[in-house]
Amino acid sequence: MGDIVDTSSLYKIFQSINSAVGAVDILIANSGYMPDLLSVKKADPENWWNDFEVNVKGTCNLVSAFVSVGTKSVSINISTAAANLPYVPGGSGYTISKLSGTRLFDYVAKEYPEFFVLNVQSVPCNRCFQVVEHQN
């Protein structure tokens, strides 16, 4: 078990798997962090930044460790379509970081053409919908 924001632990995990059973063929990335939905003024900056630590840095760490041992692999990113919504009250850190994490897989697809990359954005979480409904 490892921490997605700890680069070295992910490399060790993937190398350990590779040594034990061979190349990792499939990666399913579905991590995420969502703090309380607060305005930029009200949000705790450390908590707000944690969105980026998990949703961007963590995703990058995961992909980086995966490609270090993967060959002609499948990479699947499952994220939220909330990243593509118009303004969501209090959702700045979450939506911006999820958009960044999702875009990372667009680059993986171009940089690793031997991989099959599927980048899925599912229907936004209920929590986001509730906020949008209350705004209207």
Q: Write out pLDDT tens, residues 25-65.
A: 888 888 888 888 899 999 999 999 999 999 999 999 999 99
The answer as to whether 1 is a domain residue is no
Domain that residue 55 falls in: 7-135
Interacting residues of 94 by C-beta distance below 8 A, sequence separation 6+: 33, 34, 35, 37, 51, 55, 82, 88
The answer as to whether 21 is a domain residue is yes
Total domain count for the chain? 1
pLDDT above 90 covers a percentage of the chain that reads 45
The answer as to whether 108 is a domain residue is yes
Query: Which CATH number covers residue 83?
Result: 3.40.50.720
How confident is the model over 1-14, as a mean pLDDT?
90
The answer as to whether 2 is a domain residue is no
The answer as to whether 81 is a domain residue is yes
The answer as to whether 112 is a domain residue is yes
- How would residue 8 be classed by pLDDT, with cut points 50, 70 and 90? very high
The answer as to whether 14 is a domain residue is yes
- How would residue 12 be classed by pLDDT, with cut points 50, 70 and 90? very high
The answer as to whether 109 is a domain residue is yes
Hey, how many other C-beta atoms are within 10 angstroms of the C-beta on 79?
A: 23
